A and B are shown apart, each in its own frame.
Chain A
């Protein structure tokens, strides 16, 4: 916990664990005001291209196909921006990779597009959208 001389405590604003959320201060404490100090020279190195990311279950920047278990075994593909299933055709629109920097699954067809739930997470539809750090 980081506390100043007036007793206010450094904490994550609104107690929300969202990328790019601001840091604020308050007098109340809780999990949202707990931080670890990790010295830069002791920080674990980021995994590199080709390494397996245990947390996300994919190799980093290693392109892959996503094949449906339905009987025709169609491949996940992009139609416009929509994510759909299609017969394998060897095009890059059917290839995906895990990007360590953004922690998103990106398209080999447009490397600035990532898997995204349409309507800022309010819809059920999946599409490939400009990479961002939102939860959806």
Chain B
């Protein structure tokens, strides 16, 4: 059974261990575990009710990534021929002449 302390910690009421990001590694898909309290950031959480959460934006400029959301773009080389970046096969990117509508 788990309790939220109203600030930033979820803890098990029987063993008093807390919810913790394994190894404090802030990586996509990293495991979450129970651990003894150590007051690190890995054990601190925000509880945000869905009805109060900001809705994810799917339009407009994303400051974190420096790009417009959901707006297709070309990547054009600054070399003389100003070729564009294109997928080649499953795993490669190449530069090639622009043929509008073809580049993937």
Contacts and interface: CB of A to CB of B under 8 A. Distances in A.
Contact of B29 (A62, A65, A79, A125): A79
Interface in B38-53: 41-42, 44-51, 53
Contacts, number: 108
Interface string B55-74: 01000000000000000000
Contacts of A124: 22, 33-35
Name B's interface SS: mixed
Nearest to B11: A57
Interface in A80-136: 82-88, 90, 95, 103-105, 115, 117, 121, 124-126, 135-136
B53 to A, nearest CB: 6
Contact of B12 (A67, A84, A136): A136
A20 interface: no
B32 A103 contact: no
Contacts of A66: 10, 19, 45-47
Interface in A51-92: 55-59, 62-72, 74, 76, 79, 82-88, 90
Nearest to B24: A70
A103 B22 CA distance: 25
Interface string B1-35: 11111101010111100010110101111111111
B3 A117 contact: no
Contacts of B42: 68, 70
A68 B45 contact: yes
A69 B4 contact: no
16 contacts: A56-B3, A57-B5, A58-B4, A65-B47, A65-B50, A68-B41, A68-B44, A70-B21, A72-B26, A79-B29, A82-B32, A83-B31, A83-B32, A86-B29, A125-B31, A135-B14
Given A65-B47, A76-B32, 17 more contacts: A56-B4, A58-B4, A63-B49, A65-B46, A65-B50, A66-B46, A70-B21, A71-B26, A72-B26, A88-B56, A103-B1, A104-B2, A105-B10, A117-B12, A117-B34, A124-B35, A126-B31
